[in-house]
Structure 1
């Protein structure tokens, strides 16, 4: 039997020091035994490295930022669909998910399948709602406070000792050791991601993560835990190793089972010296280190595409322990023509 031909559109092709999940996602799907994929890369900026990587995408289209309004983004997707006939669309950024979730039905009617969390699932795990999430699902989470103004820092000081973590709604986490540092972090993050800015109690321990995929019915289709071995100044994993950690997997299965999570997710956890796990964040999409899961034996990108197409997917349980990933920077020499084409025509 030949492979099934599909046309897959993917966002998040920025592969810089704060990498997007697009490139590793595409690499995973290209290793599939069942799909022959035609890749349509969707980019926001004309310097996203995924545009210039040989053999990665078959077509590239620039799309407008979600902040310019859902309609403009979705209309652009519909225009691309007329040319490219997209079978499956996989968005990879937190900030764009809302637009795609809201328009899931509109896209499906035209034949574009997605596999995204529901709005309820997406909203209840937002950072400023994490304490209630922890209570509801029986998970330890650090105490936190939502700051709507600088005046609330005094209230925060009554509750927490320094250091604290200061976080944006979508991205960014800055450790602050005193009032002045909290103020600076607040100004920087609120300017970028708006309010509220979340201040979280600092939990000391080892940072561990799980990449997982839920089928929307409460089953965990895949889950691979890892420990970051090298972290950039942006807090991104630049190296990591898969772990044998049944407790992390149990916690993941519990979250997916109770919430009936639909789609990819990343659980960010702190393991304390006492062996307790604190959930510090849930990212509602596939993380940028997903290729480690593929390398360890769980092709989560392929499984997500299968779920989007309504195919049967058997849960993957085994994975190789002690598999490592190491990221690297790599200079590509590219011709100005490609850059000019994406800048002028918004497509290649």
Structure 2
């Protein structure tokens, strides 16, 4: 095992869309580069304009893979073709919508030498947005009241039950705060057109937004927990700046989640702390967050620990981290030649 870690690793990573609503891929890669300087990173991209494709200092080779809607068989065939060239040791998926397919072909990937650290389908479904309120009630986790709806007419009953303002959430991504029935209806149509149904209508909680990045071992143990308070939030509700904080209650909630779910792999808890100091779990994201590099900077490199888990190495729980470590996201114009774009668009690799 140690010899494999010391040897050059080849790791496939998705989520290369480093835009104003970034995927976690680039941050995961930065953490891996810190831990394994000689790692070969194989990017797995869905679109030709994902910036990570062209960041050759971070991504050694990128291949196009089919959209999740194409199904698990299409993904399996494509990854088998890529594996014949790359001999990847593992793949780290970073999008919610792709996880169902990766979980379905996990055993197939293992037979061709590709390791993964993934939850089960049941775990994924139990912690999904439509199921979160039930999960919280079952396991004593504080979750705002919410309803899953399939028709815009159901918004009127939701408004009566939960009261305005409401948080209208897409099945996989995005959320909008609606102060009126008209705003709620517009949000329903926008989000359902983009992500499908159900749409989640959640009770609005006013307070301070706090996120927790975690890694669990699938046996009920949280191996790493890093809490972060958002300092700057974009119009899409994404953290553009944040700072690590110390809060025993946050670590306890993450440990409670890991124990209740038997989660396997990376996760993110999105919480709201109200004026009374009560903490509410707003969402559970089933993968590393886009700010995951902050865990490495704070002393708990969660992507590194996940790699060791994937390759069979025992990982002891990480308990110490640096409080007051900040991240500030920034936009940078990366210049590439159009020939690279054309090559990736035409041949599906660069």
TM interval, shorter chain, is over 0.9
Q: 2:339 aligns with which of 312, 315, 337?
A: 337
Q: 1:146 aligns with which of 145, 148, 153?
A: 148
SS in 1 for 2:266: strand
Q: 2:161 aligns with which of 159, 165, 168?
A: 159
Q: 2:33 aligns with which of 26, 30, 35?
A: 30
User: Distance in 1 between the 2:297 and 2:7 partners?
Assistant: 22
Deviations 1:30-72 (A, max 9, x none): 1115x73111000011111111113111111011101122211
Tell me which moved more, 295-304 or 35-44. 35-44
Q: 2:134 aligns with which of 132, 135, 140?
A: 132
Q: Which residue of 1 aligns with 2:10?
A: 7
Q: Which residue of 2 aligns with 1:235?
A: 237
The reply on whether 1:19 has 2:31 as its aligned counterpart is no
Q: Which residue of 1 aligns with 2:105?
A: 103
Q: Which residue of 1 aligns with 2:309?
A: 307
Cα offset, 1:302, TM superposition: 0.5
Tell me which moved more, 244-253 or 155-164. 155-164
User: Distance in 1 between the 2:131 and 2:218 partners?
Assistant: 21
Deviations 1:108-152 (A, max 9, x none): 111110000111110001111111101111011110111111111
Q: Which residue of 2 aligns with 1:318?
A: 320
- 1:1-80 alignment, distance < 5 Å: 3-32=6-35, 36-80=38-82
User: Distance in 1 between the 2:295 and 2:284 partners?
Assistant: 18
Task: Please say if residues 159 and 166 of structure 2, whose CA atoms lie closer than 8 Å, have aligned partners that are also in contact.
Answer: no
Q: Which residue of 2 aligns with 1:210?
A: 212
Cα offset, 1:5, TM superposition: 1.8
Q: Which residue of 1 aligns with 2:190?
A: 188
Deviations 1:149-201 (A, max 9, x none): 11112211220211100001100100000000001000001101111111000
Scaled by the length of structure 2, the TM-score of the pair is 0.97
SS in 2 for 1:254: helix
Deviations 1:189-225 (A, max 9, x none): 1101111111000011111000000011111111100
Cα offset, 1:258, TM superposition: 2.0
Q: Which residue of 2 aligns with 1:293?
A: 295
Q: Which residue of 1 aligns with 2:121?
A: 119
Q: Number of aligned residue pairs: give it.
A: 347
SS in 2 for 1:36: coil
Deviations 1:227-278 (A, max 9, x none): 1111111111100000011100001011102221100000000011111110
User: Distance in 2 between the 1:14 and 1:312 partners?
Assistant: 32
| TM superposition outliers: structure 1 runs of 4+ over 2 Å | 1-4
Structure 2 residues without counterparts, runs of 5 or longer: none
Q: Which residue of 2 aligns with 1:197?
A: 199
SS in 1 for 2:114: coil
User: Distance in 2 between the 1:77 and 1:54 partners?
Assistant: 21
SS in 2 for 1:115: coil
Q: 2:175 aligns with which of 173, 176, 180?
A: 173
Scaled by the length of structure 1, the TM-score of the pair is 0.98
User: Distance in 2 between the 1:47 and 1:321 partners?
Assistant: 36
Deviations 1:12-36 (A, max 9, x none): 0110000011111011011115x73
State the Cα RMSD in Å. Answer: 1.1
SS in 2 for 1:30: helix
